[in-house]
């Protein structure tokens, strides 16, 4: 194949790639899945053409042209990757906080449902510890021994435990979120049920005068973990409410709109579950004093507060700059 045939065969692809580079460089509103797929295909073809041209037409101007074209396509792709990293950082540091503050009422309702289950089971087991066998699943009720709390500190595989806990907690959050599609009924059940488990266990340890010990093993990871569950549960409740009371819109429209917002809230909880899982896997079962566990819990609360406050300040700053 001579250079004229080579150019004639591939010229249209090169033009289309140039047009996409220009179009995608103008703004993110032009970036669609179809454009990205076509861009990647044309970019790969141009790179192959450059390799061929360097081999057979090394000193021809077409090689210089293709080298510039591939370089521009590569730079745009790299720029988009950098921008994506910035978007991820912006989402977790600012946008997620904004969504959370907007939907704080649904998160508080999720916390209230959890508390109702917890208080109810606590009162039931407090009056009669044997009630725990009728409240909790058999494997949980039979596997709890307040007298043995802390006996295995430092003797567990922390890395395996951490990974298992993170996976389980994220699954619970996703189920609580997905429960919104049942008009929120499944979400309500999960929140109340998890509250029942914690309340019943707390009452059992209270009966054996082990409350101080019990909460030392709960609060270090629990402050972050429960916050994340309340957020995920709140997202599910919000979606369920909009399905139950769609207002002037159709339920299909409300599901589509609220699902977008709720999914973002759910995604924002993933780092919280990762941190909680690491604490629960490495610090909670560690052979350290109960006081040290409470200190960890204190710092997790401070960390959560700072995360929200700093995110709110960034959000306010962004809004102020936009308005001005």
| Domain boundaries along the sequence of the chain | 3-85, 103-323
Say how many Å lie between the first and final Cα of the chain, rounded: 60
16, 31 contact by CB (below 8 A): no
Q: Which two tokens stand for residue 79?
A: 């720029």
Looking at residue 247, what is its pLDDT?
76
Whether residue 3 contacts residue 52, with contact meaning beta carbons closer than 8 Å, is answered with no
What local confidence, expressed as pLDDT, does residue 228 receive?
Answer: 92
| C-alpha to C-alpha distance for 9 and 317, rounded to whole angstroms | 53
292-301 long-range contacts, CB within 8 A, separation 24+: 293/216, 293/217, 293/219, 293/220, 294/216, 294/219, 294/220, 296/220, 297/219, 297/220, 297/222, 297/223, 300/220, 300/221, 300/223, 300/224, 300/275, 301/223
Q: pTM value?
A: 0.69
Residues 6+ apart with CB under 8 A from 144: 132, 201, 204
| pLDDT of the residue at 284 | 80
Residue 31's pLDDT is 58
Q: Is 273 within 8 Å of 173 (Cβ atoms)?
A: yes
Q: What angle do CA 152, 156, 159 make, to 5 degrees?
A: 150
Nearest to 223 by CA among 297, 309, 305, 119: 297
The predicted pLDDT at position 82 comes to 47
**Can you give the pLDDT at residue 323?**
43
Question: What pLDDT is recorded for position 33?
Answer: 57
What is the per-residue pLDDT across 216-236, written as a single tens digit (0 to 9) for each? 988 998 899 999 999 999 999
pLDDT of amino acid 127:
85
- H-type helices in the chain, by residue range? 3-24, 33-56, 61-90, 96-102, 104-127, 132-135, 138-143, 158-178, 185-207, 211-216, 219-244, 251-278, 290-323
pLDDT at 292: 93
The Cα–Cα gap between 54 and 27 comes to: 33
CA distance linking residue 156 with residue 281, whole number of Å = 9
- State how far the Cα of 16 lies from the Cα of 203, in Å rounded to an integer: 69
Residue numbers of the chain with a pLDDT score lower than 50 = 82, 155-158, 161, 321-324
Cβ proximity of 220 and 298 under 8 Å: no
pLDDT of residue 234: 92
Measured between alpha carbons, how far is 258 from 260 in angstroms, rounded to an integer?
5
């Amino acid at each position: 194949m001579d250079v004229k045939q080579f150019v004639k065969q591939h010229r249209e692809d090169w033009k289309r790639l140039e047009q996409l580079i220009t179009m995608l460089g103008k703004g993110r509103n032009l970036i669609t899945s179809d454009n990205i797929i076509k861009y990647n295909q044309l970019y790969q073809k141009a790179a192959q053409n450059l390799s061929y041209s360097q081999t057979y037409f090394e000193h021809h101007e077409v090689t210089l042209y293709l080298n510039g074209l591939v370089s521009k396509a590569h730079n745009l792709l790299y720029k988009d990757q950098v921008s994506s990293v910035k978007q991820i950082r912006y989402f977790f540091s600012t946008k997620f906080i904004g969504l959370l503050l907007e939907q704080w009422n649904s998160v508080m309702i999720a916390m209230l449902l959890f508390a109702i289950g917890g208080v109810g089971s606590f009162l039931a087991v407090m009056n009669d510890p044997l009630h725990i066998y009728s409240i909790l699943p058999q494997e949980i009720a039979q596997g709890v021994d307040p007298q043995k709390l802390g006996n295995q500190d430092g003797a567990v595989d922390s890395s395996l435990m951490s990974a298992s806990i993170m996976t389980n907690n994220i699954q619970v959050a996703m189920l609580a979120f997905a429960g919104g599609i049942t008009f929120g009924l499944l979400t309500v059940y999960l929140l109340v049920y998890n509250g029942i488990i914690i309340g019943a266990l707390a009452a059992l340890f209270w009966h054996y005068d082990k409350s101080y010990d019990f909460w030392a093993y709960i609060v270090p990871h629990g402050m972050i973990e429960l916050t994340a569950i309340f957020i995920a549960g709140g997202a599910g409740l919000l979606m369920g409410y909009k399905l139950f009371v769609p207002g002037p819109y159709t339920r299909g429209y409300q599901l589509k709109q609220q699902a977008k917002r709720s999914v973002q809230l759910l995604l924002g909880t993933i780092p919280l579950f990762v941190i909680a899982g690491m604490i629960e896997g490495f610090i909670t079962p560690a052979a350290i004093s109960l006081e040290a566990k409470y200190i960890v819990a204190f710092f997790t609360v401070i960390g959560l507060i700072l995360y929200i406050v700093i995110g709110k300040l960034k959000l306010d700053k962004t809004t102020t700059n936009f308005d001005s």
